[in-house]
Amino acid sequence: MEPEAGPVLYQKLRVWEPSLESEEEEEEISEQLIPDASGPHDSSGNKPGRLPGAWAQLVATLLLLTVGFSLAVRQLCSSGASPGALGAGAPPASGHSHRPGVYHHGAIISPAVPSLTAAECSRLGRELFVAGGNIVDAGVGAALCLAVVHPHTTGLGATYWGLFHNSSSGNSTALTSGPARTLAPGLGLPSALPALHMLHTHFGRLPWPHLLVGPISLAQKGFLVDTSLASALAAQDTKGLCPLLCHANGTPLGPGTRVTNTKLAAVLHKASLAPTPDLSGDALLSLLAEDLGLEGPSVGPRPTLEPALQLPVPQGILFTTPSPSAGPELLELLEASLQSPGPSPAPCPALLQAAVAPGSSVLATVDSGGSVLLLTSSLNSSFGSGHLSPSTGVLLSNLVAESAAGAWACPLIFRRISDDTEVDVLGLVASGTPAAARVTTHALLSHLARPQTPDLQGPTESPRACGQGTLLRVAAHSEHAHVSSAPSGCCPFQGF
């Protein structure tokens, strides 16, 4: 039996494939233990060393049964996965288990209508965990998956922000995309590939191509339209989205329809071979320039990794992303609320009036050692600009130079100072509302106002988020990973 996995250490490691090692060991054992049915022959054709008659057959049969049973037990003991219900983790070796949402090693959660397609991205993240990856591998792989199956909220044309807390070093790092830039009139310059590639290059463990295998397969072989995507299509002018997301008569696709995006699969394949973040973005920009009749690809945005903003508070330390995201606004709201008299949380903020709520997507990963990755991305509105690049299968955003980019991005990580409270590290990220900073503020204040008692049954799930939208919550406590969401049950999660 393999030893139980411990906390993930964020460093570059040589990749190994447990399945290949296991198969080679089993073949070697079989060759050593299972004799040739005919037995060794001498030059005269006699078969020395065999028992006569039925006794030889009986011994051989018993030996085969013993070896088969031994290998079966070994396989069951070494397996780390089970085909249980969505979000259910494999029973740990210790023999005890927890309700869905609490895991021994790591977990991932992303907002989508629970369906086969939506669950596919969380499942992909879990598979990267089990393959020896860390939370950055799982999060980036799932983000690329969502870029395929949820083109109305994210994609390769989107802008990304991220917040990564590394429990091994104690550092928190922000992934920043910088100000929005214009590719062509009304079309934003894509920054997803270089941003995700850079994050993985610095903190991932598995090879970059390994993360793109699942997304490439989904784009090439097809994915099912879920109700979230179908609802967005029904409310959208699909003129610029055909033929990818339309029937032959021009009507939008409905739930359960299978979609293939072979052009996007080809772009992802090229990105999987790119040795640097710049090249992964330049390959896409060159194709976009041809589509739009531009003289050459624009200078791509250069994402950066920099120390996260932090705010010490009596209970611990808060981390978020710098400007031009909404992180500074979030810290101002939290500081004012925590300094005001009275510990009770502020009421849910009223939904701000906006002509168009920013279309955004979020996901979160956590491991039991206390490392957290929060990713948030946006096309600025549903389907962004509505312009589908024919050569790449990518929907471009309408985040241009004049846009107030980042108002939807304010991921928050809270790390406690003491070691004997309910949650050691907490991550919060909201989407789907223009009041994301206020929603996150309310969620943290509500958490701090609750009595802190040890509990391994998972974080309390709020029945709804403030206003409209989704709030993801991940936490690490007592060597367990916890995930939940508001509204409760909105988002597929996987762990182990």
- Alpha carbon 262 to chain centroid, angstroms: 22
Give the residue among 15, 236, 50, 247 at the shortest CA–CA distance from 133: 15
Question: What is the average pLDDT score of the chain?
Answer: 76
Instruction: Provide the pLDDT for residue 415.
Output: 93
The mean pLDDT value for 282-307 works out to 85
User: Mean pLDDT over residues 395-424, rounded?
Assistant: 81
pLDDT at 51: 38
CB neighbourhood size of 78 (10 A): 12
pLDDT of res. 12: 38
pLDDT category at 187 given cuts 50, 70, 90 is: very high
Contact 439, 471 (CB under 8 A): yes
- The whole-number average pLDDT for the span 251-270 is 95
Geometric angle at alpha carbon 279, from 385 and 124, rounded to 5°? 70
> How does pLDDT run across 325-369, given as a tens digit for each residue?
999 999 999 999 888 766 455 555 544 333 344 578 999 999 999
Listed as own residue / partner, the contacts of 82-87 with beta carbons closer than 8 Å and 24 or more positions apart are: 86/114, 86/119, 86/492, 86/493, 86/494, 87/492, 87/493, 87/494, 87/495
Q: Which burial class, exposed, middle or buried, applies to 326 when counting CB atoms under 10 A from its CB (0-12, 13-18, 19+)? A: buried
Q: In this structure, what DSSP letter does residue 207 have?
A: -
| Residue 157 confidence (pLDDT) | 94
Q: Please give the average per-residue pLDDT across 281-299, as a whole number.
A: 85
32-36, 255-259, 283-287 — which is least confidently predicted? 32-36
* Window from 78-92, 244-258, 260-274 with minimum mean pLDDT: 78-92
pLDDT band at 280 (very low <50, low <70, confident <90, very high): confident
Residues 396 and 413 sit within 8 Å (Cβ to Cβ): no
Contact between 189 and 302 (Cβ < 8 Å):
no
Report, as an integer, the average pLDDT of 206-225.
Answer: 96
Calpha distance 107→467 (Å, rounded): 27
Task: Please give the residue that has the higher pLDDT: either 473 or 345.
Answer: 473
Q: Where are the domains of the chain?
A: 1-37+52-80, 102-495
With a cut of 90, say whether residue 100 has pLDDT above it. Answer: no
In this prediction, residues 370-388 reach a mean pLDDT of: 94
Lowest-pLDDT choice from 96-100, 324-328, 459-463, 483-487? 459-463
Predicted pLDDT at 301: 67
Averaging pLDDT over each range in 66-80, 145-159, 264-278, which range is the top one?
A: 145-159
Range in 217-221, 344-348, 384-388, 413-417 the model is least confident about: 344-348
pLDDT at 470: 85
The mean per-residue pLDDT over the stretch 182-187 comes to 92
The partner residues of 412 in beta bridges, in order of sequence, read 320, 428
* CA dihedral sign, ordered 250, 218, 205, 172: positive
Question: How many residues does this entry show for the chain?
Answer: 496
pLDDT band at residue 37 under the 50/70/90 scheme? very low
User: Is 50 exceeded by the pLDDT of residue 196?
Assistant: yes
149: Cβ contacts below 8 Å, ≥ 6 apart:
117, 118, 120, 121, 218, 223, 226, 229
* 264-273, 303-312, 418-427: least confidently modelled range: 418-427
Lowest mean pLDDT of 128-132, 206-210, 402-406, 492-496, name the range.
Answer: 402-406
Predicted confidence at residue 334, as pLDDT, reads 93
Residue range 80-94: mean pLDDT, rounded = 36
pLDDT of residue 342: 60
Q: How confident is the model at residue 117 (pLDDT cuts 50, 70, 90)?
A: low
| Ordered alpha helix ranges (H), 5-99 | 18-33, 53-78
Residue 159 banded pLDDT, cuts 50, 70, 90: very high
The predicted pLDDT at position 341 comes to 67
Residue 260 has pLDDT above 90, yes or no: yes
Alpha-carbon distance 144 to 165, whole Å? 21
pLDDT of 120 strictly over 80? yes
pLDDT at 78: 36
Closest C-alpha to 220, from 166, 286, 163, 149: 149
Cα 197 to Cα 158, 175, 209: the distances in Å are: 14, 11, 10
- The span from the CA of 38 to the CA of 35, in Å, is 8
| Residue 300: predicted pLDDT | 65
**Residue 421, pLDDT score:** 52
Give CA separation, 343 vs 415, 447, 448, 454, 472, in Å.
19, 11, 9, 21, 23
- Residue 490 has a pLDDT of 75
460 pLDDT band, cuts 50/70/90, is: very low
pLDDT band at 438 (very low <50, low <70, confident <90, very high): confident
275/121 Cα distance (integer angstroms): 24
Q: What is the pLDDT of residue 246?
A: 94
